[in-house]
Every structure is written in C-alpha cells, then in structure tokens.
Amino acid sequence: MKIITSIFELNKEIKDYKNVGFVPTMGGIHAGHKSLIKASQNKKSKTIVSIFVNPTQFNKRDDFKKYPRNIRKDIAILKKMNVEYLFKPSAREIYKFKAKKFNLKKKDKILCAKFRTGHFEGVLNVMNRLMTIVKSKDLYMGEKDYQQLYLIKKFLSKKFKARINSCPTVRVNKNIALSTRNKLLKTNSLKKAAEIALFLKKIKYKSKLHGPKLASNLSDYKKKLENKYNIKIDYLEFRDEKNLKLNNFKSNYRLFVAYNIDNVRLIDNF
C-alpha cells in the first residue's frame, strides 16, 4: 500500500487509472469501513481510502480533540486488506486551494442539521475538496450517516458526475451500528445502545402495520427511552428515504434517531 500525503503526489500516482474507487473516512477503521472497501474492490481495479479528521464539521472543539484516532492500527488494517492507496493529507493540504462553500437552506436544516450548526456545511465543504482532488467516479459510503449520504448525493454527485454507492449499515450482534465514536463509550453504555437499537428496530417493524398511529406516539416512546436509559434524544422521526420529508407511510421510509449517552452523540436509522 502506498501512503500519500500531498495532492501533487496523488495526482501523479493515479493519473493513468480510470477504474478507481474512493472510500472517504475519518479513520478508526472498523467492519463498516471494511464493507465499503470490499464493495469498491469487488468493482474497481484500484481503491483509494482517505483518512482525514475534518475540523470544519465539528461544531464543538472538544469533540474534534477527543475524536478517536489510531493511525498505526488503521494502516495495518488497510495493508492487510490490500488497499492500493491511503490518502492521508494535512488540514493545510486540504484547505490550501479555493473552493465553493455550501450553505444549507431552511428545508435541509432537519435532523442532525438542526442540532449541529455548520456540521453539514463542513462535510460538504471537505467532500467537495476531496472529490476535486481524487476525481473518482465512484464513492462508497455507509447508510448509517444517511443524512450525510443524502446531502452529498444532492449537492455533489451531479457536479462531479460521480456515483455515490451506498452500503448497508454494519451492526454488532445485529443491533448497535458500528461507529468510530463507539470507542468512546463505556461497556455499560454500549449495552444500553444495543438495547435502544433493538427497541427502535421493533418500532420500525410495528410501523409497517400501524404507521400513522405509531408516528403520533413517537413522543411517548422518546420519553420512555430517555427515562429508562438516562439519555437525551435530539430527534426520533419517520422520514422518507428519497427526500427526507416527514413520512406519510406511502413510500419507503426510515426511523431516524440521534441521542447522547456518556457525553457521546450517536446517530442511527432503521
């Protein structure tokens, strides 16, 4: 595996390759990331994985500082998976050129965008830069960060004529979604998160039979979860998969949740 830190070096290395898959990450490589890499490897002759903890998408400085990092372990995993290229740029390298800035409209300030001011503007900013640099026509991203996936498709896929390939969320014991942030949780909180995920999966299943009625009772379920597990839930909502509008249960939909446990913010969808 070749580790590349500069845009010049990356462009020089991949200029002759057209069949390249791109997996953008912030490190903390886990089974979810591995599934994205394997999806790329199954279709592409070369795969580029980026590791860059983007400071502009953290709306709290402490959150940026404590974000789990273990570059040695990440490199070892990627080498074992036979990844051809690791792009590991500095913030100075990523932000050294001018690029379009994105501002979300009021209709897009829902779910996490409502509670994390500037977060998705930062995500779109850095993804716009990474896609400009890497120039891959195929990106592989997970469905756990579904709103992120939706916004990148909406704002960037057409601009770069790129396919944003979405891959299913990978879960531990079929319940808790894998996330780098899970490493910040205590054992007891991981157990609670797994129980919460199972509870929400049951709600989603029941919604197929009693959709509108169940949706009207979500505030009661929210309070029940908060009291039982001593957590703070930002949102618990059914939304349409295609446009993220509040769902009418006449099209494909998901149950979205974000909550804080052990001062760690977790998101999921079912």
Q: Is 241 helix (H, G, I), strand (E, B) or coil?
A: coil
| Sign of the four-CA dihedral 107, 114, 177, 179 | positive
- Reported as type and span, the H/E element at residue 191 is helix 187-216
Asked if 33 is an active-site residue, the reply is: yes
Active-site residue, selected from the candidate residues 30, 33, 119, 210: 33
Give CA–CA dist 14/46, Å, rounded: 9
In sequence order, what DSSP letters do the residues of 71-102 get, joined into one string?
A: HHHHHHHHHHTT-SEEE---HHHHTSS-----
51-76: buried (b, 16+ CB within 10 Å) or exposed (e) per residue? bbbbebbbeeeebeeebebeeeebbe
Residues marked active site are found at 33
